[in-house]
Structures are given as C-alpha cells and as structure tokens.
Structure 1
C-alpha cells in the first residue's frame, strides 16, 4: 500500500486544482487552472459548465503527465467541489442554463419571502441549509416563478460535480455532502425532502441518485480516459463538498477543533456526530459522511475584500509591484503592519458582496465607521483586514453556542501565507492559531476520503499523520485587549446599518450601480 498514489481534485469557484498524493499525504505533483465568472447583469454570478469540465480534464491530464513513471501507481481519483451550484438540463441532457454559482443573488426576493415565513425556518431545520439566495432551493423557486417555461422543460436539476461525473460516466449521482447543501435534502432521513419537492413541483427522478461520499464509480468514458492518460477501469470516488473536505484536510474532525478558511470567501466550521441546527437559522449543517456532520457559517467576504482594497485604494502600488515582479498583497500587509491594532478607532464592515453568516442578508453593504482626518489609506487597509476577521469571529461565537468552544484552531486558505493575517486571527480569537502545511486542504480531504474508500487507509483519522504544522501564532495580550473593546461596537453598528441595507440596495439596483 505504501507506494500507492491518489489524486484529489477540487472544483472551486475560481479554479480547479488537482493534486497527486502518496498515502502519507506527501504532494507528488499538482496542477491548477482558472476560469471566468460571468456577471453580465446585476446579481448574476454564472460559469460555463463545459469550461469547467474542460478544466477538470486539463488539470487531471497535467498532474498525470507530471507523475511520470509513477503513473502506474495511481489507485484512483477523488473529488471535492464548491457547493450550491445549479445547472438545468433538458430531456436530451443538453444544457438549458449555465452554472448558477453560490454567489448568484437573483433569487433574493424568493429567499426573503421564504425566510420571513414559518415554513422557511422549518425547512432550514430539516435541511440544515440556511434560507438564502446561495442555495439551489432559492434559485429553483426564482426560476419557477420568473421563467416557468424554462423550468417546465427541465428534466434534470444538478450541480457542477454532477455535471462532471455525468460527462465522465453518463450517470446522474450526487454525494450526500453536496446534496445536504442544496436545501432539498432531509438531514434526518438522508433522502430528498418530499415536502420541498412538492413545493417545487418536482419528481425525485429529476434529481440525481443519492450516494455516500465514499461511492466508487468505474467505467470512465473511453475518449476522456485516453486524453487524461488513465485506464477506463480506474475508480473515481465521488467525494464531498469543499467545505467539509477542508475540515478533513486540516485534521479538524474530532469535534474539538475549529477549521477556519479564508480564500476568496471564508468559513468557520466544526464537526459533530449528528446534525445540529441553530434556533435562529444562522449556521449550516452539511454531511461529510453519514456519521460526521460539519456545522458552521460561510462568509462571502474574505480575500475578495483585500483584492478590492488593493485595486481601488492602492492602484499605484499594485502597478509598481507588478513592474517590480513582487507580490502586491505583501506590500499592502507591510503598510498595514505600521498601523496599531484597532486602526485608531476605524472600523470596517466587510460586506462588499452581501453577506451570508452571520447576517444572512444578500443586501448587506460595506462601510467604514469612525473615519477622521487623521486616518490614512494605511489605516483603511488594516481596518479592512480586521473587519474580515471580526466577522469570522462573530460566526465562531455562534458555533460556540451550538457545539462548545473549540480547543484548537486550524486555519487555512490563501491568507495563511501572510504573517499579519495569522496574527490578527490569534489576537481577535484570543486563541493559538495553527497553520497546517497543506494549503490545498480540500484536495487533501478528497484524497483522504478516496484512500478510505479504496482501503488504502483504515480510517479518516489517519489524516493526522498527513497534516504537517508550519506555523503557530500566540495571541498578543496588548492587542486582544483593544479588540475586546472594538468588537462590541463592530457588532452593534453592523446591526444598526442592517436596517438600511434593503433601501440602499434598491437605490443601487434602480440606478445601475449594484453588482
């Protein structure tokens, strides 16, 4: 077994990655390729399913090419995927739509109406998926109401991973992890929810067959097998969602460890042995396996906020960095480090793209609070970073109510490369923060669940031997005292502003300035 290899593939929001691992979790080869997001009208966030499928083929082909002579040792391929996507197919299995991603907000009216009803909270408690435009449930209600002819001719409602597997194997299957994030799946019965199907006017055969996250599928399409360079008999393990697999990939599955991820967006998650929901509907609950459930809160606004700060407030520095071939983000963090903790009383609400947890308000907007003449761009960049972490901390406090205070924090994502980000997490969360060696935690999580399915490891807990530790950050007592003072102001002011989010969003949509 020790020479066997496994490929973990993560179909993400901005790119797809493939990483080849041995059974010790050592990276042998990797490939990564991006694709565009289409935002042609307000609130749209779509991708081309065929562009994504071609990217999956490309990264698999590349990682197998890089494996060289070790190609013969590859035991299988296992998948992670972004949640909440929706694709409509006709009765000839042809595309009726592009892929509506989690970030598509066009169903905000339908989501608001359902969320404000008693039925909405009941659906949340059965499904574990908060009522929000991100979920396929809201998107389907929107399509049913606004495009009834298109809705009526739809034979299959699927997500992006299902589309990839259909193209590869000509089968419609979905793992219970991705299914549990649709708003259509009953977490108690582990089946499609009959009441919701009735509400949507659907038959169960319009949805994919439900399978465990360790399900193996064989019989790879011959033409794709030849292109990729794998035999048709190689098993593909269907895997789970990116968030759940990220917990596995950082060894945060013991019920005591918090996994915190900041990429383009972000999330805070813990694992329980049964489904857990929040009385106020503020958290999600998705399956990793039948007996491991991931409870947490996703935030829309992670690294995308930092990118906005760079592009809009520090455009000259970005150009200079590009000319000098240095990392523009590193320049920004160096500028922010010169500003004291708390940014001298400047607070930033990072809701540039609406917000999921903890507000669950698609109309949420960003704001600086406390600006004075003494504040500079440097204050604004540090404040924006602090605002992102304040928001994540507020989600952690909700989780603490539900499943208890975590004993450890494992943090991952692109931000983990920055010492300032890591220290901000430790100071605001007032806990030691550990950065695992593997940045691609969802790929590793997929590979581990694939290894378990194929018998290469005995148990998922063997991931403990694969996750190295590169950095630990201890809270700075002087800093967390300051953050204790500011955090309540951050919370109160964001709630006060929430009363006006709908009004300003309506104004922006009316006058064409809303994205």
Structure 2
C-alpha cells in the first residue's frame, strides 16, 4: 500500500500558478507552473479570465502528478491573489473576466463603503460588486455567487460554493454589511468556511482529469500573502515578512493592533490564531523589475540573473540615479493612485546597470517607507524574512538589508506561498497539531544577510531624498492623471466621430 506522506499545494499569483508537492518536513519533492494572461481593456482596469486560472491549475497539477506517485498525497490546499472578484452564473461559469487586486475601477465605491461601514473595505468584494451592480447590471443580474480566487478554485475542485474566512472572528462578509452596501445576500455563497477546514473531496471528474486520488481532501486555503506568512514562519513578535512577488507586502507580527488615523497601515488578527499582523501592501515590487527587464532586456538569455549581476557591479546609490517604483499608483503608505514611476538624475554616464540598480533600490525604499510608519507608531522590527520570486535574488535581499538596517533571512523555499498552502493542507487533516508549530518545523532558511552599517547610513540619506522626491511630485502626478483623462476622453470622442 502506498504511504500517504505528501501535501499538494497551489499558489495562484498575478502571472501564473505554481503547483508543489511537499513532504511533511518541508522538502519540495515536485513543482510545476503554468501561466495566464492579464487584460487591461481600459485605463485602470486590470482583469483575468477565471477559466484560464482553472485550466492552468489543472495543467500544473497534472505535471506534478506525472513527476511523483499521486497516491502519496494526503490532502491539498491553495493560496491566491486577492482581492479578485469572480462572479459565476447558475451553472458555475464566470459571467465576466475577474477584476484583480490592481484594478482601480471601484475606487469610489471603496471610499463610499469604508465611510458607510466604518472599516476599511479596500480588500473586500463588497465595493467591487457594488461597482458591477451600478455599471454592468446585466452581469450583476446573472451572478449567482461571488468568489475570491482561491474560493473559485476550491469550488471547481469540490463543487462546494463556500466563502473562506482566514479566522472565524474575521469573516469575509456579513449579512449586515451586504445589506448596508445595497447588495443582495443571495449573490454570496450559502456558507462561510474557515481556513484549514476540509471543504470536501475532489469531485470524481476532477480527480480523474488531474490524475489525483479519488476522495482527496481539499482544505480551505487563503490569500497568497497570508500563506507566505505561514511559509516563512513569520509567527513571532517583531518579525516582518516581506513578500516579493508582482507586488510587495510588508507584515509585522505584533502583540496588539496598531491603529493609524492616517490609514497608512492596517492591522488584522494573525491567521495562526494569536497576535496581530500590522503592515501594508505595495502596488510596486517585482512588477517594477519585471517591467524593466521586459522593456529593455528581453533579448537577454537569463535576463534576471544578468541584470542582478550588473546591478551588483554599480556602487550604492547608482551614482546619482534615483527611481520611484510606482508603475500603477501606490498603496501603503502613501495611498496615491496617481503616483507613477520616475527616474531622476539621469546623466550620460548611466548605463543599463545603473538603471537596474536604481530599480532594486527604489523598491527597497518603498518597503522602508512602510517600515518607518510601523516604527513611528510603536512597532519594533527585529528581522525581515523575504518570500516570493524576488527572494531568490541575494543582490536584492542585500540591498533591502542595507536600506532597512535589519537582517534579512532568505528561505530555502522561495515560493513561500506555495509552502504555506502545503502547511495549511497538512494542518487541515490534522497532520500537525498547531499551525505555528507546523510552520516552524517545515520552514528553513538558507542564509541571513546582515546590514552593513556604512551602507545603511548612506541609504538613510538617500531614502530621505526618495521621500522628498515623491512629495515634490505628488501634485504633478494628480495633474498629469487629470490631463491624461481629458486627452483620453478627447481621443475617444475624435475616434468615434471619425468612425
């Protein structure tokens, strides 16, 4: 009889899905990935096709199943990008593409419901669904259930329509909130499940198609950043998890919530069931480096490795070249949808390597911007643990250590969300007694990068310049956004008239 000793996990990110098979000691036994596209049909609109997620998940799972004996799987779980609004009809099919986390169309509804409900709704589906009701009434009328990414994939795997709460006391929605938002309760799944709850077995059809064992338990997963906290064992007070994916996240473990009247950071209960997470999400991060590589270095083999080596060869501060990384506006701590990326101080001596270094440094400054707020409000940061694809770059991690003035721990498994989902899968079938202890046992680090004091001192001066540069440009960003809106409107009118 085959011993069931592996955990299957999925991590749906902005650019694609990863599937992994882990043993209960945290060793990655098999891994596969599949990509999907992002659509931007209008300025500020960013969408993906939920059926493309599902096809990519099946492809990645089948590849993992070919690499090992799938009969060894104990259970499976997943993490996914959030917030992402998936609306399905009575047959469970998406009624339209899903607006993802970087979509800006419901900004007004977020502000409206935040004021009306008295809590931050920027990560909730409520304002996004309200936008749909107001602007696409036919799509809203066809909607029979709404999901986040990981809830939709769980629905496809099990046939069970369930909203998932990261903690029992932290539900994704309430009937009162739905009513106060002007929405209908019947648009939401019939029940709320909790992180780690077994939602059901795989349907026979999915098990056969994906070459997985019949009856494999599917465990309720969570947001990708939450899974990364687990996948880096960010469970102790004073530890920060910096997720380095398409966007960056900063999460400090603290023993109490930290309130900020200016809304620069947020607090929520930690998914491990004790303590709090305080921090914020950036809109910039890996996407800024990815943009630079795709636009200017796409012809290079192993472009990311070459760019990292080139950036290492350039002195600290990129010889006077400073960047702002805000390609798509910025969330924490400045909350400015109009902010844009900038290269400042360009001269004839600057090469591609200088621009690469400036990009890496700019994201590190953005991370420090959030960390400075945490410290200002009374938090203390002992160390930083990096997670995600960007964690594979020791050059970038060393820059962050020097900019932040804190040790940066680099995990053996950079796909921390994938590992975190595997830990959740094991915890859900009682393979582990405690989620925090399971994370500590399964997560290992390959190195610690200590800050260099002389570099930190210089970076502190440059960080002040970085902050000043944004402040000087803030009003200009807003003016340019309005000008672009007017130009875009005039162009559309002209094109329509010509047609």
TM score, norm. by length of structure 1: 0.87
Matched with 1:381 is 356
Query: More displaced, 103-112 or 32-41?
Result: 103-112
TM score, norm. by length of structure 2: 0.90
Q: CA deviation at 1:172?
A: 1.2
Q: Distance in 1 between matches of 2:172 and 2:47?
A: 28
Q: Distance in 1 between matches of 2:108 and 2:182?
A: 19
Matched, 1:267 2:249: yes
Query: Are the equivalent residues in 2 in contact too, given 1:2–1:22 (CA < 8 A)?
Result: no
Q: Select which of 148, 152, 167 maps to 2:137.
A: 148
Map 1:66-215 onto structure 2 (within 5 A).
66-68=67-69, 71-111=70-110, 118-119=115-116, 122-124=118-120, 129=121, 131=122, 135-177=124-166, 190=171, 192-208=173-189, 209-215=191-197
Matched with 1:183 is none
Matched, 1:462 2:438: yes
Q: Distance in 1 between matches of 2:97 and 2:373?
A: 35
Q: Deviations over 1:57-93 (max 9, x none)?
A: 222222122113xx33311111111110102223444
Matched with 1:43 is 44
Q: Distance in 1 between matches of 2:433 and 2:279?
A: 27
RMSD: 2.6
Map 1:300-311 onto structure 2 (within 5 A).
300-311=283-294
Matched with 1:474 is 450
Q: Distance in 2 between matches of 1:273 and 1:57?
A: 40
Query: More displaced, 137-146 or 257-266?
Result: 137-146
Q: CA deviation at 1:188?
A: 5.9
Query: More displaced, 37-46 or 240-249?
Result: 37-46
Q: Deviations over 1:277-328 (max 9, x none)?
A: 432222244552554543321111112211222333x34xx42x23xxxx11
Query: Are the equivalent residues in 2 in contact too, given 1:3–1:22 (CA < 8 A)?
Result: no
Q: CA deviation at 1:251?
A: 0.9
Matched, 1:484 2:460: yes
Runs of 5+ unmatched residues, structure 1: 181-186
Matched, 1:360 2:343: no
Question: Given the superposition, is the C-alpha separation of residues 274 and 88 from structure 1 closer, same or farther in structure 2, using an over 3 Å criterion?
Answer: farther
Question: Given the superposition, is the C-alpha separation of residues 85 and 275 from structure 1 closer, same or farther in structure 2, using an over 3 Å criterion?
Answer: farther
Q: Distance in 2 between matches of 1:374 and 1:412?
A: 34
Matched with 1:503 is 479
Q: Tell me the SS of whatever aligns to 2:240.
A: strand
Q: Tell me the SS of whatever aligns to 2:220.
A: strand
Matched with 1:8 is 9
* Matched residues, number: 486
Matched with 2:278 is 295
Q: CA deviation at 1:442?
A: 0.8
Q: CA deviation at 1:157?
A: 2.1
Q: Tell me the SS of whatever aligns to 1:36.
A: coil
Q: Distance in 2 between matches of 1:21 and 1:63?
A: 11
Query: Are the equivalent residues in 1 in contact too, given 2:160–2:200 (CA < 8 A)?
Result: no
Q: CA deviation at 1:213?
A: 0.4
Runs of 5+ unmatched residues, structure 2: 492-499
Q: Tell me the SS of whatever aligns to 1:364.
A: coil
Q: CA deviation at 1:412?
A: 2.2
Q: Select which of 256, 260, 282 maps to 2:264.
A: 282
Q: Distance in 1 between matches of 2:480 and 2:90?
A: 42
Matched with 1:251 is 233
